[in-house]
A and B are shown apart, each in its own frame.
Chain A
Amino acid sequence: MHAKRHIAAEEHHGIDLAPMLDFTINLLIFFIITTSFIKEPGVTVIKPEASTAANDPNGNLLIAVRESGEIWMDRREVEMRDIRLMVERFHIERPDDNVVIIADRESAAGLVAEVMDMVKAGGIQNVSIAADAPGGG
């Protein structure tokens, strides 16, 4: 008799949280798995277009070269000589990650080449130049 009354008490106890918790934890696991902590340059540049551009899932350090010749990395403007040290530090932190240089269409090729050499001197050999697929955003 007491037992029956006890079951009835559960109803006015509020919502059952367990399914919500299951759902929330699933969502949490999804975000943990997909997150990759990309280092964004913090500026937007107009990228060149290339139809053979391949997606590099490990391209997590982005360096932007603007039309004016400014170099942006990790949300601040950096000097050419700083790149090497920053890349070295990043390489120690995350040895499997690669660098993508996001160069403006109008930026000088010589500057991009110099940045590329600096990144390679910093220890990351796999460097690509970002490009959009034609017609796509």
Chain B
Amino acid sequence: MLGRRRHLSAEPESHGIDLAPMLDFVINLLIFFIITAVFVKESGLVLNRSTGVENPTQSDAESIVIQILANGDIYVDDRQVDAQAVQANVQRMKAASPESAVLIVANNAAPTGVLVEVADEVRQAGVFDVTFNTTE
């Protein structure tokens, strides 16, 4: 009886800090971060925008021009090509002039899917300096 009472009074002091409120706080913080955490990262393609709107037909010979029409047709060097053939065409033209950059001229109404597809093909061909313009 005597021993028990002494035990009750002496125990909390000798035991150190009570961890329970700290644990509550830490778990609340943890829940907050779990809820706000977003693990989805978007991957994408970086495209440049040229500031001045140039006329595609008279752009300098330095750059390879790819046109995308409103219906999604792709023209490389004024010839209609398939989306899969863009890479080969760009590679061939890049071999002729290795310094050239690529300019994609898309119609305002052209679907973005085609634009991204073309940009992807160009990047697969090894040209990462892709600029894109839009025309009426």
User: Do A and B originate from a single complex?
Assistant: yes
Measured CB to CB, the residues of A under 8 A from B are: 2, 5-6, 9, 13, 17-18, 20-21, 24-25, 27-28, 31-32, 34-38, 40, 48-57, 59, 62, 65, 100-113, 116-117, 120, 126-133
Sample of 9 further A-B pairs with CB below 8 A, known A37-B36, A129-B112: A28-B26, A35-B38, A40-B38, A49-B120, A52-B124, A59-B41, A100-B44, A111-B108, A128-B47
Q: Which of B34, B38, B42 contacts A130 (CB 8 A)?
A: B42
Q: Do B117 and A50 have beta carbons less than 8 Å apart? A: yes
Q: Do A50 and B119 have beta carbons less than 8 Å apart? A: yes
What is the size category of the interface that chain B forms with chain A? 35 or more
Which B residue sits closest to A36, measured CB to CB?
Answer: B38
> How many Å lie between the Cα of A62 and that of B33 in the bound state?
20
> How many Å lie between the Cα of A24 and that of B31 in the bound state?
10
Q: Is B96 an interface residue (CB 8 A)?
A: no
> How many Å lie between the Cα of A112 and that of B68 in the bound state?
14
The secondary-structure label for the interface of chain B is helix
Q: Which of B26, B29, B44, B113 contacts A53 (CB 8 A)?
A: B44
Q: Do A112 and B11 have beta carbons less than 8 Å apart? A: no
> How many Å lie between the Cα of A39 and that of B123 in the bound state?
28
Q: Do B123 and A52 have beta carbons less than 8 Å apart? A: yes
Which B residue sits closest to A51, measured CB to CB?
Answer: B120
Given contacts A18-B19, A21-B26, contact A117 B49 (CB under 8 A): yes
Query: In the assembled complex, which residues on chain A have CB atoms less than 8 Å from the CB atom of B30?
Result: 24, 27-28, 31
Q: Do A109 and B107 have beta carbons less than 8 Å apart? A: yes
Q: Do B109 and A108 have beta carbons less than 8 Å apart? A: yes
Q: Do A54 and B45 have beta carbons less than 8 Å apart? A: yes
Which A residue sits closest to B108, measured CB to CB?
Answer: A110
7 pairs of A and B residues whose beta carbons are closest in the complex: A110-B108, A105-B113, A31-B33, A128-B44, A50-B120, A48-B116, A52-B123
